[in-house]
């Protein structure tokens, strides 16, 4: 039975704490905390299974505030429920170095399960968390020990975002019965009435996806409880459409867009607190009755955790190997022999780097049980398929291949959810061109320091006849601009091995592998072990007239150009730079050794945008690049068209060297 009186007091307290924190900050979003206080009180005061002192409990329910702007709802609930979120933390809402950031940020505060704010992405990441738990339960035969739910609170903005549609469709297809979404349906969006921009039947849409849908009064505890209990028993995902009043209790602005995204103001805050039965002159108040209620709830939760822990220990004793595997996965370590195993792996000669990567993926499947892959309907082309494993579907959660369908954005968020759960090491794939669909999810993944690996193939205009719609130009520069994302464009199979090794070693950085469709010659000069340096010399001379920096398949081209220039009497250094950010992180002495300022001319060769290259080659450097959209033609014709031939580049370098020797000041490429 639910204690309605205690939950009403809790909801009132959530409203009061939210008002006070937002008013003290002078900014924030009071609409959702005021409108969803009953949902928050019910979940944290009755329904959710967690232990606030053991926040990594494998079987805890996880609450995801997809509508992250309403963060004070979450922070108020975490405080009341006994998490490490003090009244002082609430007072510091939105302030410098506070745990209680403007939008919930993963890693800042226990109980925040993922970073949210960009609408819809919390919903999609939650699907990944739910999928991870299903995989864990089935693959380790933990049906009696893993019964937790992923519970989401989403708003109208989340429901309207395309990523939500993609993720909901996938969750329904997989029949993920461990995800429950509360939809805060208040008929108001930031710009005004929802009817101005949305008139769909959300219930029918989600039912078409394969979801169970319930509609309730989001302010009535009995209705909330009935819907939640029904959702727990469902054999499919559940959407609970909770009809609420945004800003409930604020007499002059409730039910309007005005209460969505700005503080109430002193007068309205006082009226609201008085209206809901709180003293307007008291701030950050939690009554003794509410404290006692949550303490009793905490005792129940800790007891449930202890009972589960006892049962888990029994399981460990009877399944020692499986238990050790779970422990190792939680530590996120790679086998000690992985470097030797990758190094000695035999790969067919002179193949596309996507094909080299596919060979490595098969080996990694044998070495890393936590390794799990997937593709946006392109595994046969982006070479992400694990050949010795089945596909995940609603009847089979033993597989290691996830068919995401043409849902790139959701795929990237689901992969983040898989990584957040901590048991799986996800990699996903699509064409580099389509990384644009995923960009915001990649950004959040990098922000959360999650080691997701992206395999982006068809890396340049040299993919050929599919034309400019599929030929990436600006994507490399855009990805390189994302902090904490290692973008690696390997030259050949040696560097592909090194790229995978570095991607797997990290526990706190996302990695994008940029791979070719066109063949890549295996080069004697490249090194698997030097990829970690970001850039290294593959051809050196005593007194270089010029240094050429290449990436990907253009490293081979750079070496050929250097050889031709030497016939003309020039001395040329060649540098492979697979990863700019790895190079940027090296010691100054090493960077000065590779980019030697005594060399008068630096040249970069990359079949992509020139953006970002002049920080390495200097403003007077020569950039062989593509700064316009491509064409539909075969690769050889494109090389000729854009000057990616030995003869064309050689002539440009000779011309520029002549200009340099004449001491001309150059400002353009």
Residue numbers annotated as active site: 408
Tokens of 134: 């299903």
Report the 10 Å Cβ neighbour count for 72: 29
DSSP helix/strand/coil, 415: helix
Spatial CA neighbour of 609 closest among 453, 480, 417: 480
DSSP helix/strand/coil, 572: strand
Q: What is the largest CA-CA distance in the chain?
A: 90
* Sequential DSSP letters for 562-602: HHHHHHTT--EEEEE-S-HHHHHTS-HHHHHHHS-TTSSEE
Measured CA distances, 23 to 20, 258, 270, 331, 440 (Å): 5, 15, 10, 41, 30
Strands 536-539 and 572-576: antiparallel
- Beta strands in 33-170, from DSSP E residues, in sequence order: 62-65, 150-155
Q: Does residue 153 contact residue 35 with C-beta atoms inside 8 Å?
A: no
Q: Does residue 115 contact residue 103 with C-beta atoms inside 8 Å?
A: yes
- Start-end of H helices in 369-430: 379-382, 408-421
Which are the contacts of 535, defined by CB distance < 8 A and separation ≥ 6?
Answer: 549, 575, 576, 577, 578, 579, 580, 582, 583, 594, 595
Rounded Cα distance between 90 and 286, Å, is 12
Q: Does residue 383 contact residue 357 with C-beta atoms inside 8 Å?
A: yes
Q: Does residue 80 contact residue 14 with C-beta atoms inside 8 Å?
A: yes
Strands 192-193 and 212-217: unpaired
* Sequential DSSP letters for 618-665: -TTSEEE---S---SS-HHHHHHHHT-SHHHHHHHHHHHHHHHHTT--
Which are the contacts of 202, defined by CB distance < 8 A and separation ≥ 6?
Answer: 159, 183, 185, 239, 241
Q: Does residue 116 contact residue 124 with C-beta atoms inside 8 Å?
A: no
Rounded Cα distance between 309 and 318, Å, is 14
Rounded CA Rg of the chain: 28
Report the 10 Å Cβ neighbour count for 277: 12
Rounded Cα distance between 287 and 278, Å, is 10
Which are the contacts of 564, defined by CB distance < 8 A and separation ≥ 6?
Answer: 646, 647, 650
Tokens of 271: 């009226």
Cβ burial of 355 (10 Å; 0-12, 13-18, 19+) is: buried
Angle at 206 between CA 239 and CA 146, to 5 degrees: 45
Tokens of 190: 């930031």
Rounded Cα distance between 153 and 50, Å, is 17
Rounded Cα distance between 209 and 634, Å, is 41
Measured CA distances, 543 to 57, 571, 579 (Å): 61, 7, 26
């Amino acid at each position: 039975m639910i204690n309605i009186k205690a939950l009403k007091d809790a909801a009132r307290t959530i409203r009061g704490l939210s008002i006070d924190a937002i008013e003290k900050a002078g900014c924030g979003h009071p609409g959702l905390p005021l409108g969803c206080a009953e949902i928050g009180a019910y979940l944290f005061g009755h329904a959710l299974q967690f232990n606030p002192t053991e926040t990594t409990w494998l079987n805890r329910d996880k609450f995801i505030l997809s509508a992250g702007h309403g963060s004070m709802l979450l922070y108020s609930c975490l405080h009341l429920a006994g998490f490490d979120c003090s009244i002082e933390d609430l007072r510091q809402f939105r302030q410098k170095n506070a745990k209680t950031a403007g939008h919930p940020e993963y890693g800042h505060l226990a109980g925040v399960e993922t970073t949210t704010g960009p609408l819809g992405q919390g919903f999609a990441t939650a699907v990944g968390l739910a999928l991870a738990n299903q995989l864990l339960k089935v693959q380790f035969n933990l049906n009696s020990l893993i019964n937790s739910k992923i519970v989401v609170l989403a708003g109208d903005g989340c429901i309207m975002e395309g990523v939500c549609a993609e993720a909901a469709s996938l969750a329904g297809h997989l029949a993920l019965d461990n995800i429950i979404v509360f939809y805060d349906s208040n008929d108001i969006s930031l710009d005004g009435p929802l009817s101005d921009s949305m008139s769909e039947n959300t219930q029918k849409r989600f039912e078409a996806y394969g979801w169970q849908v319930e509609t309730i009064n989001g302010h009535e505890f009995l209705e909330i409880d009935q819907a939640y209990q029904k959702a727990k028993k469902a054999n499919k995902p559940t959407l609970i459409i909770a009809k609420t009043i945004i800003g409930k209790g604020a007499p002059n602005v409730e039910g309007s867009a005005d209460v969505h995204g700005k503080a109430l103001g002193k007068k309205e805050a006082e009226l609201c607190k008085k209206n809901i039965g709180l003293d307007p002159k008291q701030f950050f108040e939690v009554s003794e009755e509410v404290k006692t209620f949550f303490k009793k709830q905490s005792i129940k939760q800790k007891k449930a955790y202890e009972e589960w822990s006892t049962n888990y220990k029994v399981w460990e004793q009877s399944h020692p190997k499986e238990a050790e595997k779970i422990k190792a996965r939680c530590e996120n370590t790679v086998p000690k022999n992985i470097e030797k195993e990758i190094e000695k792996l035999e790969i067919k000669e002179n193949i596309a780097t996507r094909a080299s990567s596919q060979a490595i993926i098969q080996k990694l499947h044998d070495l890393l049980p936590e390794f799990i892959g997937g593709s946006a309907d392109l595994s046969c082309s982006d070479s992400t398929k694990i050949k010795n494993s089945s596909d995940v579907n609603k009847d089979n959660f033993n597989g290691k291949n996830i068919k995401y369908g043409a849902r790139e954005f959701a795929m990237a968020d689901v992969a983040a959810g898989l990584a957040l759960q901590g048991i799986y090491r996800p990699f996903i794939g699509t064409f580099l061109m389509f990384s644009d669909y995923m960009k915001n999810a990649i950004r959040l993944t990098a922000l959360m320091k999650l080691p997701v690996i992206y395999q982006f193939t068809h890396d340049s205009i040299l993919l050929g006849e599919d034309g400019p719609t599929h030929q990436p130009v600006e994507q490399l520069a855009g990805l390189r601009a994302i902090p904490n994302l290692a973008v690696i464009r390997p030259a050949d199979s040696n560097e592909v091995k090194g790229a995978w090794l570095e991607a797997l070693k990290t526990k706190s950085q996302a990695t994008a592998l940029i791979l070719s469709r066109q063949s890549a010659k295996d080069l004697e000069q490249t090194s698997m072990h030097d990829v970690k340096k970001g850039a290294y010399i593959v051809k050196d001379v005593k007194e270089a007239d010029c240094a050429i920096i290449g990436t990907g398949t253009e490293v081979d081209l750079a070496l050929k150009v250097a050889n031709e220039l030497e016939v003309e009497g020039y001395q040329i250094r060649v540098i492979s730079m697979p990863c700019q950010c790895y190079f940027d992180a090296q010691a100054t002495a090493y960077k000065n050794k590779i980019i030697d300022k005594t060399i008068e001319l630096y040249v970069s060769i990359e079949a992509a945008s020139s953006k970002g290259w002049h920080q390495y080659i200097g403003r007077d450097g020569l950039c062989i690049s593509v700064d316009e959209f491509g064409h539909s033609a075969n690769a050889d014709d494109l090389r000729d068209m854009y000057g990616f031939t030995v003869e064309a580049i050689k002539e440009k370098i000779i011309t520029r060297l002549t200009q340099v020797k004449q001491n001309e000041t150059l400002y353009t490429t």
